[in-house]
Structure 1
């Protein structure tokens, strides 16, 4: 088996027109340039102006660094220095040089604001470090070494085969909660790290996370993934019922995460030397269940954000990241299975994205109401380019380290 990861490749016929996809990637990178601040990358409003009240957040800076590293790999001459800026910010400004790890947020002047150490943020630091290492960004190896050690020392629970959620600054008190969302992003980061280092132990760790959350929990719940758990990994089905639109821990199940998991399972299958057939089965079941229950459920196109355990919509808002992940997952499943139905779905969702989410400002509208008009109930502004850039890259057939696909007996990027 040959795993081709040494050069940029393109699929023969991406769903949207290639010039449009290229334009979207370029626009998202330009938006990232606008977010650049001395200590990282800012949260931008709808007009692309930094929101100073939100300071500099690690997850945004790490995602921007990851995107810049990919853009550098994809030939964007402006992106290498942008990725290097992100690496330096993660090494210098956002890193806790006393206790180790990364602050969740610092003020615009570099003063720490939120000092807890969360798995969600650390997953993206690891992802950024791995992508920047694959792109040969200066100092990325140092960042990857530091991030790897922090994740293994403090977040990875080898006995459970899962990652802990968060700690206080000094790593003495762990949060009494287990989260599927942060573990999903750890899977993504582990795959990117395996690709950057050649160390398949990272892929095996990712596989253990997937075994529990998907192979056990999602399958036991009809491929509806419970997101919230006790510290010993018992399901908390009523968690945040009183805060159903929480941006990171909403009540119920989140179809967009199932769709995102479906894509990641295909990449995980390609990263393992002997994956078996269950990963693809899980991916297709997650995808089908999520699409069936969340797409166009209430009279208008779009994916409902969350559903209850009877599959009734709870939060009917449409998030840009769900549409992006749906288009990306459909593209990946088409390449993996060659089933034309996935290509048709990808085309349909790209049309939806072009109609409702792309407005010419350079970054996609982040949230729509049930009427597909812009909304700001959960997300204000446009802090993120990561999902859009990922989807456009996969639709273009561009190399993304860690996102390999096994297709018709061959390994492709």
Structure 2
């Protein structure tokens, strides 16, 4: 937090830097809307968890840049900005809107005066321009082009749950329930206990390798979100789905040499992307924390082991405040920079871990 709240902030052009070098200096890369939103979210969550740094200033700094440079004429948000804040890619992308909504929910919790209004405007845009006309989820982009993916829906579920947390309004749970229905009917494969990523317009898996592509990191993320929704809605049977996703990711999605999650495996458990990134390891910690105490086995030893691996491979080898994002199957670093988009995964996983261990002593 001390590094990213200083070196990670673009005080000249606004917003946050997309990446830092291993010397802690900012890299001049285009600024993705998802990264700007995730930095706002991370600082808001840090404030909620007791961080005494300048969270309010950072939240306002990020939102001012996003609203001043990144809105579209229809009330949506652009995909990418240049370093100076000019628009690089005006595409209105569902994934980016999910990140903006998540950030605004926690900015609202943190007391930002405009977050609620901006959130309501973003929901209006989502409903008008990104919702599928058949009401079977959301389009990838507002032009309706391209295949359908489960991942933006996962992040929209995350955002809807955050808005329920922020406001207590059940309307956001109803939005979340629509994503849960898609999960049950299309995303989850009951035979392999896996979750598909790439679909056609009718929510059938696309042909070839992409149709078999599953990501252990997303299994972990869905497990956490399903457990959260089960607790908020009372649909406790969803915990069983969360356990199955977690179990299949652990059984088939880990590099046995390092203990780290692969990037992707097939539905049959064959590695498709052998690189281990930092964010799936953080999401594995969050999933184990979410599932621990829900009636299954004691996962506390596994939580400790996963935190240990995250530090051994991704955090400890890097300079203080940074991390090694990409590691090959033999445990060697592939990282050339430190992407800011990973910051929120690490902040959330480690604050949840610290919350869980507070009071245990030692």
Scaled by the length of structure 1, the TM-score of the pair is 0.79
Cα distance 1:254–1:221, how it changes in 2: closer, same or farther (>3 A)? Answer: farther
- How far apart in 1 are the matches of 2:210 and 2:291? 32
For residues 77-131 of structure 1, the C-alpha deviation after alignment (integer angstroms, 9 at most, x for no partner) is: 32111011112122211112x2321111111122111111111101000000111
- How far apart in 1 are the matches of 2:194 and 2:115? 37
Kept in 2, the 8 Å contact 1:320–1:357? The answer is yes
Asked if 1:375 corresponds to 2:334, the answer is yes
Aligned mate of 2:266, from 297, 308, 328: 308
Matches within 5 A, 1:22-101: 26-27=1-2, 30-37=3-10, 38-47=13-22, 48-52=24-28, 54-77=29-52, 78-96=54-72, 98-101=73-76
SS in 2 for 1:307: strand
**Unaligned stretches of 5+ residues in structure 1:** 1-25, 168-172, 242-250, 399-413
User: How much has 1:40 moved relative to structure 2?
Assistant: 1.5
For residues 160-206 of structure 1, the C-alpha deviation after alignment (integer angstroms, 9 at most, x for no partner) is: 34121112xxxxx3123211111100000010111222221222221
Determine the structure 1 residue equivalent to 2:197: 227
Determine the structure 2 residue equivalent to 1:135: 110
- How far apart in 2 are the matches of 1:361 and 1:289? 34
Determine the structure 2 residue equivalent to 1:176: 146
Aligned mate of 2:182, from 212, 222, 234: 212
Matches within 5 A, 1:4-403: 26-27=1-2, 30-37=3-10, 38-47=13-22, 48-52=24-28, 54-77=29-52, 78-96=54-72, 98-157=73-132, 159-167=134-142, 173-214=143-184, 216-238=186-208, 240=210, 252-272=213-233, 274-275=234-235, 277-297=236-256, 299-337=257-295, 339-340=297-298, 342-358=299-315, 359-376=318-335, 380-384=337-341, 385-397=343-355
- How far apart in 2 are the matches of 1:230 and 1:160? 15
**Unaligned stretches of 5+ residues in structure 2:** 357-362
Cα distance 1:219–1:239, how it changes in 2: closer, same or farther (>3 A)? Answer: closer
Kept in 2, the 8 Å contact 1:215–1:282? The answer is no
User: How much has 1:158 moved relative to structure 2?
Assistant: 7.4
Q: How many residues align?
A: 349
RMSD between aligned residues: 2.0
SS in 2 for 1:314: strand
Determine which structure has greater relative contact order: mean sequence separation of CA pairs < 8 Å that are 6+ residues apart, divided by chain length: 1
SS in 1 for 2:330: coil
For residues 309-331 of structure 1, the C-alpha deviation after alignment (integer angstroms, 9 at most, x for no partner) is: 32111111111001000011101
For residues 353-410 of structure 1, the C-alpha deviation after alignment (integer angstroms, 9 at most, x for no partner) is: 111111233032111111122114xx85322201001101211238xxxxxxxxxxxx
User: How much has 1:300 moved relative to structure 2?
Assistant: 3.0
Cα distance 1:100–1:64, how it changes in 2: closer, same or farther (>3 A)? Answer: same
Scaled by the length of structure 2, the TM-score of the pair is 0.90
- How far apart in 1 are the matches of 2:133 and 2:225? 21
For residues 319-351 of structure 1, the C-alpha deviation after alignment (integer angstroms, 9 at most, x for no partner) is: 1001000011101111433631x1111111111
- How far apart in 2 are the matches of 1:210 and 1:380? 36
Cα distance 1:57–1:217, how it changes in 2: closer, same or farther (>3 A)? Answer: closer
- How far apart in 1 are the matches of 2:160 and 2:133? 14
- How far apart in 2 are the matches of 1:62 and 1:164? 20
